[in-house]
Amino acid sequence: MSRVLLVPNSIEDITKLKDKVDGFILPIKDLSINYNYYIDIKDIDKILKELNNKDIFISLNKNMHNSDLPKLKDTLLMLENYNIKGIMYYDISIVNYKKELNLKNDIVWNQDHLVTNYSTVNYWYNEGSKYAYLSSEITKNEIIEIKKNIKAKLIANIFGYVPIFTSKRNLVNNYLETFDKEKVSNIYYMYKEGIKYPLVEEGNGTVAYSGYVLNAIKEYFDLDLDYYVINSFLIEDIEKVVDIFNTLDKDNLEKCYQKLSKLIPNTSEGFLYQETIYKVKR
């Protein structure tokens, strides 16, 4: 039976929705990126106690610089004291720390767009990653093929905006500064041919999101993955979205899909049925 994780937008989301989802992905300030809400490591004890019976994944998915390593190491050691499902990583330093420090917490291979084949899922599984968080740029058939050939548990995005670009540069600020404009918010949009792509710029750089909200609910039962992720970033009424998922069963799949499409008009099934190309015909 698949379980649903929420990427919260705020502490209020956590409090309000903790009884409606199976668990949360919790990003830690200064060690995570691509989120709109980060938890100070000092507050983690209180939050985890409040979420005692939930499936908790801690996201430490930033590209780590040398200067991040002391805090990263301390955080990994501190998290050994808590009952969490796993630690999501992008940077391979975390795999090395798991080995060097003999850490007991499971880790989750979460290299955004690189989680695209079963062989590499198995590679990281053998290196201690008991979970893999699939790329959102692969097809349904590829996901099925991966699932058939692995032992790791799988996590995939099912609803929400998808991060599609991460930079260390402050690209919005660079632009505004160059043309003598004031930066008044962390959220902007880049706009092209009728599509708005959200841009978030905070301390660790710039993130661009998909121009649509991924809605893969139709594949919930067919794919039958271990965890599905709902990302609440920029979703105004996330509670209604969660409520729809909570009413989901095999008989009302289409109805739930329609309800979500009505609630959030700007949705897409992403790459589930559309393979990307890389060799351009001349």
Q: Which residues bind another protein (CB under 8 A)?
A: 63-69, 90-93, 95-97, 99, 111-114, 116-120, 123-124, 137-138, 142, 145-146, 164-179, 181, 184-185, 187-192, 196-197, 206, 208, 210-211, 271, 274, 276-280
Q: Cα(250)–Cα(233) distance, rounded to whole angstroms? A: 27
| End-to-end Cα distance, the chain | 47
Q: Cα(45)–Cα(249) distance, rounded to whole angstroms? A: 35
**Beta carbon nearer to another protein, 172 or 242:** 172
**Beta carbon nearer to another protein, 19 or 278:** 278
Neighbours of 54 (CB within 10 A): 20
CB of 185 to another protein, least distance (A): 5
CA angle (225 as vertex; 258, 146 as ends), nearest 5? 115
**Beta carbon nearer to another protein, 3 or 196:** 196
Residue type for position 70: P
CB of 241 to another protein, least distance (A): 21
CB of 207 to another protein, least distance (A): 9
Q: Find out whether 162 and 235 touch, Cβ atoms under 8 Å.
A: no
Q: Cα(273)–Cα(256) distance, rounded to whole angstroms? A: 19
What the block records as the tokens of 140 is 């349904």
Neighbours of 277 (CB within 10 A): 7
**Beta carbon nearer to another protein, 65 or 240:** 65
CB of 53 to another protein, least distance (A): 34
CB of 279 to another protein, least distance (A): 5
CB of 38 to another protein, least distance (A): 18
**Beta carbon nearer to another protein, 4 or 162:** 162
**Beta carbon nearer to another protein, 24 or 97:** 97
CB of 15 to another protein, least distance (A): 25
Name the β-bridge partners of 157.
Answer: 229
CB of 238 to another protein, least distance (A): 18
What the block records as the tokens of 70 is 């002391």
Q: Cα(131)–Cα(243) distance, rounded to whole angstroms? A: 26
* DSSP letter assigned to residue 39: B
Q: How far is CA 214 from CA 81, 200, 217, 267, in A?
A: 35, 18, 9, 6
> How big is the chain, counted in residues?
282
What the block records as the tokens of 93 is 């330093």
**Beta carbon nearer to another protein, 48 or 154:** 154
> Which of 100, 81, 87 minimizes the C-alpha distance to 61?
87
